Amino acid sequence: MWTYNKVLEYPIKIKCKNPQLAKFIISQYGGPDGELAASLRYLSQRFGMPDEKAKAILNDIGTEELAHLEMVGTIVHQLTDGVCPEELKRAGLGDYYTDHGWGVYPQSASGMPFTASVLAVKGDPIADLQEDLAAEQKARATYEKLIDLCADSPDVIDPLRFLREREVVHFQRFGEALRNVQDKLAQKKFYTANKFCDNDPCKCMKSEVLGESENNCSCNNLLSTNCGCNMMNNMNTMNTMNTMTNMNTNVLNTNSMNSNCSCNMN
């Protein structure tokens, strides 16, 4: 399914513990605009894409978001690992420590647990890709706010900048996917003749129109109603029946006129 390399996509080595920053950064782990929501959204939306290229883009980005989830989890872990409960409490993580200890739990900065209600999977390729473009912009904006909060922690800012840059790249790729899907949906649909007919219907009809012998047609599926030969034969049959109907009508009209003749009155 995936090939997993047991190294982070970008190296993270945080020297100083800072649980207060961890409380903010964890929002990109399990918040509404975080990496967990993004990965699940894209890997679910890919099934509704109309072409393989759009599916591949969603699959690629959704997979990379899982790598970003691992990075954010690593940042939170390194910022809090080994910090005493009292310090966690002073940082506003007392409730978190009560429920999860030093574990990394998917929630927003406000403490709201992750929920699938933040996922947008409409089943409409245009709507889904538009949603993805907005999601990448929201993630970029969130990383920029986190960078502002981490001004005194260069070890944290470095991977956050990398993550922000990747959101910009994802936005560009989703724009490419949206244009491709729009072009594909705008294409006109063309329908061909019966696939079981091994001869071009136009050639068969052309032979009949030119008055050529029926034996000149090389169509080997004369039972097919979609074959050009049979289409022309059906047209000829209908014309013949119309001619006979007209003749019968003329005869009836003639008899009607004769019935009014003075000769018949005698």
| Residue 2, pLDDT score | 72
pLDDT of residue 235: 53
Residue of 200, 252, 202 whose CA lies nearest to 221: 200
Could you tell me if 127 and 113 lie in one domain? yes
Do 29 and 154 fall into the same domain? yes
Residues 59 and 121 in one domain: yes
pLDDT number for residue 211: 47
Same structural domain, 197 and 136: no
Q: Is residue 4 part of a domain?
A: no
Domain-located, residue 211: yes
pLDDT at 222: 47
Query: Containing domain of residue 233, as a range?
Result: 191-238
Residue 106: which CATH number? 1.20.1260.10
**28 with 124, same domain?**
yes
Q: Is residue 13 part of a domain?
A: no
Average pLDDT by consecutive 10-residue portion of the chain (266 residues)?
84 95 97 96 96 95 96 97 94 95 96 93 95 97 96 94 97 96 83 55 47 48 49 53 55 48 45
Return the pLDDT at 4: 82
Cβ contact 113:107 at 8 Å: yes
Same domain, 181 and 206: no
DSSP calls for 37-93: HHHHHHHHHGGG-SSHHHHHHHHHHHHHHHHHHHHHHHHHHHHHTT--HHHHHHTT-
> Model pTM?
0.70
* Residue 10 included in any domain: no
